[in-house]
Amino acid sequence: MTGSDANWPLRAVIFDVDGTLADTERDGHRPAFNTAFAAHGIDISWDAEEYGHLLKTPGGRQRIAADLRSRGHSEGDAETLAAQLHRTKTQIFRESVLAGEIQPRPGLVEFVAGLTEAGIRIAVATTGRRAWVEPLVHHLLGEGTVEVMVTGDDVSRLKPDPEVYLRALNQLRITSKSALAVEDSQLGLQAAVDANLATVVVTTNYTSGQDFTGAALVQSGYDGESPLTAAICRQTHRRWWSA
């Protein structure tokens, strides 16, 4: 074991949720937003391409409000309506999660099992709402797999602010030098890097063209010709802190 390994062994991997554990954005959140618009009698329907552009605004409620303002709604009206719509959307999405309609990204379950077998702890750091995050994580990874789960209910600032990662590290009782983050987007990468975390980015169709400068490793998925493994995570983590 090198000096770097001895001083800062990889003890935990902290996962984002949306896009990272499952491809939730295009086929999960987007339809739920559209159903919420219809339920409130609002003539808005986000197609896949438009939603990809809207993802530049972090946070579902903030995303709705920004779109409403772009369509001529006043600031106050947009914020009030966005809050109502987001509550409806959260319930709709939660129902789809509880129905088991969201599936893990290919290779994720095997990757997490390998981390657990290697003695690496699992945590989640997302600014999504706990009402749907908790059942989704349990559905995707099983009960008891995730040791620490920090959600948007636990923080006051959304990504790219690092607060959610700092809280996860605090609850894990480790420093950033003993952890690795897994993200799928530039905004998430910024949050993790600002928390001083070595970060692996696993891209999606929405994020593959983004700038991932500062990532320790970028992959297009968990599986494929070069699947992500616990050994690769340890090598990536060691290389990052040895540089």
What does the pLDDT look like over 163-194, one tens digit per residue?
A: 999 999 999 999 999 999 999 999 999 999 99
Whether 154 is catalytic is: no
Where b means 16+ CB within 10 Å and e means fewer, 211-236 reads ebeebbbebebbeeeeebbbebbbeb
Q: Mind listing the pLDDT tens digit for each residue in 191-210?
A: 999 999 999 999 999 999 99
Give tens-digit pLDDT for 24-37.
988 899 999 999 99
Boundary-marking domain end, from 80, 98, 116: 98
The token pair at 109 is 């379950």
Active-site choice (5, 18, 23, 47)? 18
Domain of residue 34, CATH code = 1.10.150.240
pLDDT of residue 111: 98
Burial group, residue 141, by CB count within 10 angstroms (0-12, 13-18, 19+): buried
Residues 37 and 62 in one domain: yes
User: Between 26 and 38, where is the model more confident?
Assistant: 38
How confident is the model at residue 201, as a pLDDT? 98
Where do the DSSP E strands lie in the chain?
12-15, 121-125, 148-150, 179-183, 198-202, 217-219
Q: What range defines the domain where residue 63 resides? A: 25-98
Give the pLDDT band (50/70/90) at residue 5: low
Q: Out of 65, 98, 131, pick the residue that ends a domain.
A: 98
C-beta atoms surrounding 43 within 10 Å: 7
pLDDT at 15: 98
Q: Give the pLDDT band (50/70/90) at residue 3.
A: very low
Strand, helix or coil for residue 148: strand
Local confidence band at 1 (pLDDT 50, 70, 90 cut-offs): very low
> Are 81 and 107 within one domain?
no
What's the number of domains the chain is made of? 2
| Domain identity same for 140 and 237 | yes
CA 147 to chain centre: 16
Of 16, 23, 67, 161, the catalytic one is: 16
Work out the pLDDT band at 59, boundaries 50, 70, 90.
confident
Residue 11 burial by CB count (10 A; 0-12/13-18/19+): exposed, middle or buried? middle
Mean pLDDT for all residues in the chain: 94
18 as an active site residue: the answer is yes
Q: Which residues pair with 181 in a beta bridge?
A: 14, 199
**What is the average pLDDT across 114-137?**
96
